[in-house]
Structure 1
């Protein structure tokens, strides 16, 4: 066989070459389109529920920082949790901004009529407030921190408090103007904005109590506003507790997928109990009222009375919380026994409410010098850490599988009109 025949066998026709080239190019384009579609899917379906991961990380860091039983490595672990909270907040904020910028109509369409998603918009300001409190607790006390970072935390608190109140009002006014829910369709997730208002009071009280060198002139306005915030949270929570109690009597348990939300019923009173004790402590222990010394209330003589009254009121609130945490646990365990529950981001909402009770128990352990409350708060923290890492495991696993981040539905293009 001569060389010309060999060349003829190996020579590729121009048509075949073009077909193969086009096929390779089409495969590359499909792969690129697939990657773009995945990112579009993630951005479009990124709900505010993802902020609950950051806010849970932050509140556990706060509890670890305040824990009565400290050991050598705990401050390091607390700092790691603070950094993780900061990273999660930045990532979630960027994706949320992209979502609202690129697909505003899609977001409105997906949010409208979804009571749980509307309520969960209270999570971003709560996550910010945990970062605010940790900035005062950790950064201002660091060797390289100091008073400057106390002022940073102080400014962050005023912004975060306004952010939270605006969010709370927006959520409820939106619900007043729509027919998204009724008394029989009430969701426990609606307590989240109320928890956020109480969280603003807790964050302010922590800054007044533990930030480096906060003067009474700075602290007292925060304390006074903090009491207003507790009043906002408590009385609004009482109204919603009544509605939700009637909902349970009328139609029974919520559907199994939403039962973990019931744990959020613990949050409003638990966080209010923690807030009012920390505010009373700032008035008395930090001598903020004595240093301010104006009128008849903002004086050294009034501070002990305010502190004692705060402890009594906190005990009353926690008594109600014991009822709601029992109801929530029975509902969740019943659903688990019937094998009707599956994993979703809803399970992250089980951590923050119980953390608020833990913070309140820590304050009671100090006010009463009680080993019982010290042991109870430590035991609750250990349970919450187990819950935290289990949630992380499931979240990572289902995110890799695509069940949490990707939904198989038709995607909208950026700024595309929706019929």
Structure 2
């Protein structure tokens, strides 16, 4: 039964990375990804209930039926598909944020267009930031594990220089310009808050 979420997850990754894209294909891949997560959780709940109710039968199957043991590896494969799809929306979100900051800084656009682009860019950073922190922990763990060759450690160091640090610095510099002062909406998008937001954003980007 774990082959069902495994196949659904693999199909979601393939559709997301397919070279021949059409409008809506990414949405279909996300739907399949969510369906795979639901299927995997459902199958795990059913298998756990089976282990609780029929523990002796499960142990006997694992000892004597190789297909029972082999199919349990589909759980790990499904989990890998979940991680792959999480990483691909993360990269897209952080790249969008960096692009939004660059356009807001370089293009001659009005504050009425510039400030909404800044807000959307910060929202994209909020989407990708927790995932980036999680992956950074994994990278540092492997970096401290000296079982890998030195050249691979260098590559991992470069991976840590991701787009979100650049995005935070660019967005901070844009906020420190007169965009908030010219926009002036509500209590947050004003000249009084521009300094705090801008310098905090630049400092956070430098820390990364």
Q: In the alignment, is residue 292 of structure 1 matched against residue 183 of structure 2?
A: yes
Superposed, 1:65-144 pairs within 5 Å as: 112=10, 118=14, 121=17
Aligned residue in 2 for 1:196: 92
Cα deviation 1:86-144 (Å, max 9, x = unaligned): xxxxxxxxxxxxxxxxxxxxxxx8x827x9x659739999xxxxxxxxxxxxxxxxxxx
Aligned residue in 1 for 2:192: 301
Aligned residue in 1 for 2:173: 281
Structure 1: runs of 5 or more not aligned:
1-108, 126-158, 318-419
Q: In the alignment, is residue 206 of structure 1 matched against residue 102 of structure 2?
A: yes
CA distance in 1, matches of 2:164, 2:170: 10
Contact kept, 8 Å, 1:284 with 1:307, in 2: the verdict is yes
Aligned residue in 1 for 2:4: none
Contact kept, 8 Å, 1:289 with 1:298, in 2: the verdict is yes
Aligned residue in 1 for 2:34: 173
Q: In the alignment, is residue 272 of structure 1 matched against residue 164 of structure 2?
A: yes
Q: 1:171 to 1:229 in 2, by over 3 A?
A: farther
CA distance in 1, matches of 2:155, 2:32: 17
CA distance in 1, matches of 2:165, 2:20: 22
CA deviation after TM superposition for structure 1 residue 208, in Å: 1.4
Give SS of 1:301's match. helix
Structure 2: runs of 5 or more not aligned:
1-6, 41-74
Aligned residues: 163
Normalised TM-score (structure 1): 0.31
CA deviation after TM superposition for structure 1 residue 225, in Å: 1.5
Q: In the alignment, is residue 312 of structure 1 matched against residue 173 of structure 2?
A: no
Q: In the alignment, is residue 227 of structure 1 matched against residue 89 of structure 2?
A: no
Cα deviation 1:240-267 (Å, max 9, x = unaligned): 34456667889x659xxx9998578436
Bigger CA radius of gyration: 1
Normalised TM-score (structure 2): 0.56
CA deviation after TM superposition for structure 1 residue 305, in Å: 1.9
